[in-house]
Structure 1
C-alpha cells in the first residue's frame, strides 16, 4: 500500500475461554488474523514479561509472518489494544499506540497494560465465566513492500471457499429428547401394606411407567415401590422380583437420571450456542458473497476507468505533441520577427534620413517656387498698369491695341517657357541627388 492510498483498517476480537487454566503460562498468543492484507496476532503475558511487571498483564501486537517477509519490510500502523468490560462495556481498558514494525521490532505493546488485581476483580467485568475478551483495532498507514491486490483477493477467496464446506449440509443436528428426574432415598415401611394400599400403589406405578420419568414422579414412584416391596399378595413372583430389583437400584437410577438431565442441559446449551455461531458463520459467508460480487463490479468499473484513462492519456500525449509543435512554430516566428524587427529599425533610420533630406529639398523647392510665383505676380501688375495707361489710346487706334496685345501674350509665353525650363532643371538635379544618396 502506498502512502497516498486510502487507509486500511480492521478489528479483531479474541475470546480466551478457561482463562484460569492459562493464567500461569508464561506467554500465549491468538490465532493469526489479517488486516490490510497483513498477518497479525495478539500476544499476552499473564504474569508480565519483564522484571518488576509480574503484577501486571503484558499485551502486544505482533506481525505474524515476520520471519517470511523480505528484507526491508515495513508496517506503519496505529492500533488500539482493549481488554473488554463484558458487563457494561463502559469500563473497558484501552491503550492506543502508533508504531513502525520492522525486522528488529516486529512486535510492540505494553509490558504493564493493566494490573492483575484489577483484571481479576469480579466487579470490573473483565473476567466473566472464566472468559476474557481482548480486542485490537488496526489502521495501516504504510506497507512495504505493498500487498498485491490479487494476492489478497486470492487469500480471501481461498479462505471462504474452504469455509463453504460448512454449508454443504443443512447444518442442523438431530436431537434426541432426554428425561429429567431427581433422586430421593426410599423410606421402607416396616408394616405390611393393606390390599387397598397395594392397589393404589400398583395404579400409581402404572401411571409412572406409562410416561417418561420426570422429577415430580420421584415421590410417587418411591412410595409405590416401598409399598409394593412389602406386599404379600396381589403381585406375581416376576412382578415382585422386578420391584425388588428396581427398588434396590432406585437411588442409582435417580442419580443417573439427574446426571443425564445435567448433561442434557449442557448439550442443549451447547446446541443453542453452536446454532448461534453457525448462524453467524453462515451470515458472514453470505456477506462475503455480496462482497465478492461488489468486488467484481468494482473490478469491471476499474477496467472501464483504465480504458478511459488510457484514452485520456492518449489525448493528453497528442495535446502535448501539438503543444510542442506550436512552441516550435512560435520559436520560428519569433526568430523571423526578431530579424524583421531589426530590419524595421534600420528602415526607420533610413526613413528619418530621407525625411530630413526631403525636408531640405522641399525647402529649396518652396523657395524657388516662391521666387517664380512672386515674379509672375509682378508681371501681372505691370501689365495692368500698361493697360490702364493705354486705355485712352485704344479708342484712337485699334490697330495699335491689337499689336500691344500680341506683344504681351508673347512676353507671357516666353516667361512660362523659362519657368518650365527652370523647373525641369531643378527636378533633374533633385533626382540625381536622390540616386547619389
Structure 2
C-alpha cells in the first residue's frame, strides 16, 4: 500500500479551540489536552506574537518530561484560524510532510510563528475576531509512536511500514540472542562425567575412519 494513498484514507483527529476574551490574553496561552494516535497533545498560541507581529500557533506534546527519554512519534497536521464571517477566508496552514516529535531536545513542539498578521487579525471587518472570541482548529494525523527502542503502531500506519519494521524488529532480536549466546560461559567438563563431548561432525569423521 503506497504511503500517499494511506494518508488520504486515514482520518485525522479534529480539535476545535475557542479562545474567549482574546484581547486580554498575553504571553503563551495553551489549550486543554486532547488525545490523537494514543498521544496527549495541546495547542499553544501567542496572541501578541512570538517576538513577531504575527499570531503564532504551535502543536505541542503535552507533558514531554513525563514521557520515556527515547519517546518519539511522526505526525502530519494542519492548523487553522477560522473566519467566523466567511469560512472561505479561513487561514489554514499544514506541515506538508511528517514531522518528528520527541520527548527530549527541542522537537516537542512545532508550528507557525508567522501565521496571520496581528493587524489583520484585530481588524473587526476581517471576521477572525468576533465578540473578542477567536476560533482555532487543528487536524492531527499520528503515524506511529516509538517507546524507548520499540514502536507502538497506530491505525494510520501503512501496511508496508508495519511489515518493514516488523522485519527490522525480528532482525534486532536475532542479533541480540546471538550476542547473548556468545557471552555465555562454556560448560564445565565435569558435567559430562569425564566423557568428551563428541559433536555430530566429529562422529561422522570417526565413522569414516
**Matching residue of 1:100:** 100
> Residue by residue, what CA displacement relative to the aligned partner does 1:111-148 show, whole Å, maximum 9, x if unpaired?
11110011111122100111100000011122112559
The DSSP-based 3-state class of the residue aligned with 2:50 is coil
**Structure 1: runs of 5 or more not aligned:** 150-437
C-alpha separation between the residues in 2 aligned to 1:34 and 1:148? 15
Question: Pairwise mapping of residues 243-322 of structure 1 onto structure 2 (< 5 A)?
Answer: none
Structure 1 segments (4+ residues) deviating >2 Å: 6-9, 145-149
Q: Distance in 2 between matches of 1:86 and 1:147?
A: 39
Cα distance in 2 for residues equivalent to 1:30 and 1:44: 8
8 A Cα contact 1:57 1:114, kept in partner:
yes
Instruction: Please tell me whether the aligned partners of residues 37 and 143 of structure 2 are also in contact (alpha carbons under 8 angstroms).
Output: no
Question: Does the 8 A contact of 1:7 with 1:140 survive in 2?
Answer: no
Equivalent in the alignment of 2:117 = 115
The answer (yes or no) to whether the contact 2:144–2:152 under 8 Å persists in 1 is no
In the TM superposition, what are the counterparts of 1:13-412 in structure 2 within 5 Å?
13-22=16-25, 25-50=26-51, 53=52, 55-97=53-95, 98-102=98-102, 103-104=104-105, 105-145=107-147, 146=151
Residue 49 of structure 1 aligns to a residue in which SS?
A: coil
Give the Å deviation of 1:65: 2.7
Query: Using the alignment, how far apart are the partners of 2:47 and 2:84 within structure 1?
Result: 19
Rounded to whole Å, the distance in 1 between the matches of 2:76 and 2:153 is 21
Q: CA separation in 2, counterparts of 1:147 and 1:141?
A: 10
Residues 81 and 136, structure 2, Cα contact 8 Å, conserved in 1: yes
Contact 1:76-1:101 within 8 A present in 2 as well = yes
Kindly indicate whether structure 1 or structure 2 has the higher relative contact order, using CA contacts under 8 Å at least 6 residues apart: 2
5+ residue gaps, structure 2, are 155-209
Cα deviations by residue, 1:361-405 (Å, 9 ceiling, x for unpaired): xxxxxxxxxxxxxxxxxxxxxxxxxxxxxxxxxxxxxxxxxxxxx
Alpha-carbon displacement from aligned partner over 1:28-78 (angstroms, at most 9, x marks no partner): 11011111111000001112223xx1x111110000031111121111011
1:117 counterpart SS class: helix
User: TM-score, normalised on structure 2?
Assistant: 0.63
Change (3 A) 1:109 1:148: closer
CA distance in 1, matches of 2:118, 2:138: 20
How many residue pairs match? The answer is 141
The residue aligned with 2:185 is none
Give the greater-gyration-radius structure (CA). 1
TM-score by length of 1: 0.31
Q: How far did 1:100 drift?
A: 0.6
SS of the aligned residue for 2:115 comes to strand
1:306-344, CA deviations, whole angstroms, 9 ceiling, x for partnerless residues? xxxxxxxxxxxxxxxxxxxxxxxxxxxxxxxxxxxxxxx
Match of 2:200 in 1: none
Do the aligned partners of 1:12 and 1:136 also contact (CA within 8 Å) in 2? yes
SS of 2:120 mapped into structure 1: helix
Going from structure 1 to structure 2, the CA distance change for 1:71 and 1:7 (only over 3 Å counts) comes to: farther
